[in-house]
Amino acid sequence: MNRTPSASVQFATLAVTAFALAFLIYPTAWVFIASLKTPDTMFSATRWSMTLENYTRLFAAGFGHNVLNSLVLCIGAVLLSTFVSVNAAYAFSRFRFRGRGTLFATVMLGQTFPWIILVTPVFILFARAGMLNNWGSMLFVYVAISIPFSVYLLVGYLRAVPRSLDEAAIMDGASYFQVVWRIVFPIMFPGIVATATYAFLLCWSEYLFSVALLTQEEMKTMPLALYIYFGENVTDWGNVMAGSALTTLPTLLLFLPLQRYMVSGLAAGSVKQ
């Protein structure tokens, strides 16, 4: 039985849906549109005049450098954090060992821990060690902030990988390391990519640690640069919108194909099987 609602209910549902989605999409869509508008038509809903000038001006001001900083740092952090988290999640998921529950709880508590508290001590420790404005320390911070959530998600995805597969490989004489990276990794690849995407977004939009630990102009990441353009006395909206569009584009491209996996990972603890 699959009753179709009456015409008026259908019309009301479609109208409310269209309104809700328009509200959800408008701000992001506007970023992309405004980034292409000339300064004199920027705030007009009716007059249009398109240009790429905002982008050329942004890059002339050195934004390319910030893009590169963010890209290198985030890709590095995602690769390292994924490697560490996949191994840890596999250990938690497949082995019984002393202290397993406590250790797993410690990882999970990392998710609820407010990072703002760590900024002061981390800043002091790095300042004393002469590690401010240092890529190594930023990489360390980004790997550390993404581990708790990544391990939680990966343990969820690992449940869908049949144990018989890895047990058979062990019988055939494979080492555990080989099992993780040759057998389990390809099977749960979509889940790993979804996890890596979360880690990437975390790092890509991170503001708090970078504002405290990166003070040198040439080391700043995209979110910092964006806020510098934004914070000037007279905001150059063309610049800000072009920078915002460039910051959003990679995450949008990553999220669209992956949303199904990302939601299923997050919902793992909440949807009854």
Binding to another protein, residues 49-78 (CB under 8 A): none
Segment contacting another protein by CB under 8 A, of 47-55, 56-64, 123-131, 181-189: 123-131
Give the per-residue contact string, 165-184, with another protein (x = CB under 8 A; - = no). Answer: ----------xxx-------
Among 67, 88, 188, 213, binds another protein (CB under 8 A): 88
The CB-of-92 to another protein minimum distance in angstroms stands at: 7
Does position 39 interact with another protein (CB under 8 A)? The reply is no
Place of tokens 């990437």: 200
Please identify, using beta-carbon distances, which residue of 191 and 223 lies nearer to another protein.
223
SS3 letters for the chain?
CCCCCCHHHHHHHHHHHHHHHHHHHHHHHHHHHHCCECHHHCCCCCCCCECCHHHHHHHHCCHHHHHHHHHHHHHHHHHHHHHHHHHHHHHHHHCCCCCHHHHHHHHHHHHHCCHHHHHHHHHHHHHHCCCCCCHHHHHHHHHHHHHHHHHHHHHHHHCCCCHHHHHHHHHCCCCHHHHHHHHHHHHCHHHHHHHHHHHHHHHHCCCHHHHHHCCCHHHCCHHHHHHHHHHCCCCCHHHHHHHHHHHHHHHHHHHHHHHHHHHHHHHCCCCCC
> What is the distance between the alpha carbons of residues 123 and 272, in angstroms, rounded to a whole number?
43
Bridge partner list, 50: 37
Please identify, using beta-carbon distances, which residue of 144 and 193 lies nearer to another protein.
144
Segment contacting another protein by CB under 8 A, of 1-9, 49-57, 58-66, 183-191: 1-9
Place of tokens 């009301």: 12
Among 40, 60, 112, 171, binds another protein (CB under 8 A): 112
Residues 6+ apart with CB under 8 A from 164: none
Segment contacting another protein by CB under 8 A, of 47-55, 61-69, 98-106, 181-189: 98-106
Does position 35 interact with another protein (CB under 8 A)? The reply is no
Q: Hey, which residues between 201 and 230 contact another protein (CB under 8 A)?
A: 201, 204-205, 207-208, 212, 223, 226-227, 230
> What is the distance between the alpha carbons of residues 2 and 166, in angstroms, rounded to a whole number?
43
Among 17, 49, 56, 215, binds another protein (CB under 8 A): 17
Size of the residue set binding another protein (CB under 8 A): 108
Segment contacting another protein by CB under 8 A, of 55-63, 71-79, 91-99, 184-192: 91-99
Residue 96 has a CB neighbour count (10 Å cut-off) of: 5
Among 52, 105, 129, 160, binds another protein (CB under 8 A): 105
The CB-of-48 to another protein minimum distance in angstroms stands at: 15
Segment contacting another protein by CB under 8 A, of 3-11, 47-55, 61-69, 184-192: 3-11
The CB-of-110 to another protein minimum distance in angstroms stands at: 6
The CB-of-60 to another protein minimum distance in angstroms stands at: 20
